[in-house]
Amino acid sequence: MIGVLGATGDVGRHAAGFLERLGIGPVRSGGSAAADFRDPVSLDRFASGCEVLVNCAGPAHAIGDSVAEAARRAGAHYVGASGDNPVRVHDGRTALLSAGLQPGLTAVLPRWLARDAEVHTLKVWLGVSDLFSRSAAEDYLHAAAAGHGEALAAWRGERRSKALTRETGVTLPFFPEPVALLPYLAPESERLARALRVTHGDWYTVLSGEHVGRAFDRVHGLGREEAVAALCRASRLDLAGREPRVVLIAEADGRTAVLQAKGNGAVTGAVVALAVSALERGEVPPGSYFAGEVLNPKSLVDGLAGLGVAGSRVFDLPLSRLVLEEEGAL
C-alpha cells in the first residue's frame, strides 16, 4: 500500500497517477479531509498498513517533519516532494527528501551530465512557466524570510556573496524570448558543488515573464496574505495563453544537458513516483537522504522520458554555442 498525502493537489494527483501507471500500489489517496498533518492520530490512521508514505501536501514549511514522523511510527518508507532537513526513520527503512523539481531534479541533471566525476565549472539554469499555487507561494516567502539560500551568491570553492548580478533582456537558448536571470545559491547547490568538487559554480532562476519578476521585487514589503495573492496573480498573468513548461539546463566543463518538461506539477509528481519505484526495487539503502543525491541519475532521466513527462539531450558544446530552440520542442 502506497499512501499519498496531498493527492488532491497538482503534485499529488500527478504522483498518484504515475504510481498507478508504473504498476505500484495499491494507492491510498488522502486530501486534507482524509488526514490532517496537525493531528498525529489522523496521520497514524492514514499511515497504518502503508509500505511507503508519500507527502505531496503543502505548504511544506508548515508541515515540517510531521508526515515523516508518522511514517516512522508506522514502520513505513517515506518520500517527500520537499524537505530541507534529514528525518528519523524506522529501523531498516528509508526516507527520501526533496524528491521534486527543485530541490531534486536540479541536482540529478548535473550529476547525470557529470557522471559523478570531478567538475571544475558548473552552471545551472532553471526556468518554470507555471502557476504559483497558494502553498508554493507561502513556501517561497518562508524560504526567503528564513534565509534558505542567498541571492546573487555563487560557488567559488566556497560560498561567495554578491559574486553575480541580476541580468535582464538576456537571449538564452531553449527560451523563445528574452529572459531575466536571477542568481541564487541554494543549500542543495552548495551540497552538489562539494560533492562534485566544483571550483566555479553559478545557479540561475530564469524568468520569462515580466509579472513574476516584479512580484518578487515587491512582495517582501507586503503582508503575508497580500504577498501570496500577488505571486499567484503574477503567475497567472505570465502564463496567460501559454502551456506550463519547465526548462532545466546544466553546463559542466563545456558540455550541456537540457531537460524540457510539461510543467511543475507533472514533473514533480513524476520524480516522486520514480523515487517510490526506486525504493520498491531496493535501490536506496536504509537511512535518510536527499533524493537528488542518491537516486540513479540515468534511471530517473530515462524514467521521466518513459512517462512522457520530460525529454532531455546532451551536447558536447557550452550553452553559448547552442542555437535557439523553438518553443515547445522536447
Q: Could you tell me the domains of the chain?
A: 2-101+267-304 (3.40.50.720), 105-263+310-321 (3.30.360)
pTM, entire model: 0.94
Single-letter amino acid code for the residue at 239? L
Where helices occur in the chain by DSSP H, the ranges are 10-21, 40-47, 60-63, 66-74, 105-114, 134-146, 187-196, 210-218, 224-239, 264-280, 291-294, 297-306
Predicted confidence (pLDDT) at residue 169 exceeds the cutoff of 90: yes
Q: Quote the cell numbers at residue 161.
A: 556573496
Q: How confident is the model at residue 115 (pLDDT cuts 50, 70, 90)?
A: confident
d(CA 36, CA 39): 5
pLDDT at residue 282, as a whole number? 94
Q: Kindly report the number of other CB atoms within 10 A of residue 144's CB atom.
A: 15
pLDDT at residue 325, as a whole number? 46
Predicted confidence (pLDDT) at residue 114 exceeds the cutoff of 80: yes
Predicted confidence (pLDDT) at residue 326 exceeds the cutoff of 60: no
d(CA 90, CA 305): 33
Q: Cα angle at 81 between 79 and 83, to 5 degrees? A: 85
Cβ-in-10-Å burial (0-12, 13-18, 19+) of 175 comes to: buried
Q: Please check whether residue 1 is in contact with residue 30, taking contact to mean a CB–CB distance below 8 angstroms.
A: no
pLDDT digits (tens, 9 = 90+) for 72-112: 999 999 999 998 888 999 999 999 999 999 999 999 999 99
pLDDT digits (tens, 9 = 90+) for 147-159: 789 999 999 999 9
pLDDT digits (tens, 9 = 90+) for 193-237: 999 999 999 999 999 988 999 999 888 889 999 999 999 999 999
pLDDT at residue 330, as a whole number? 40
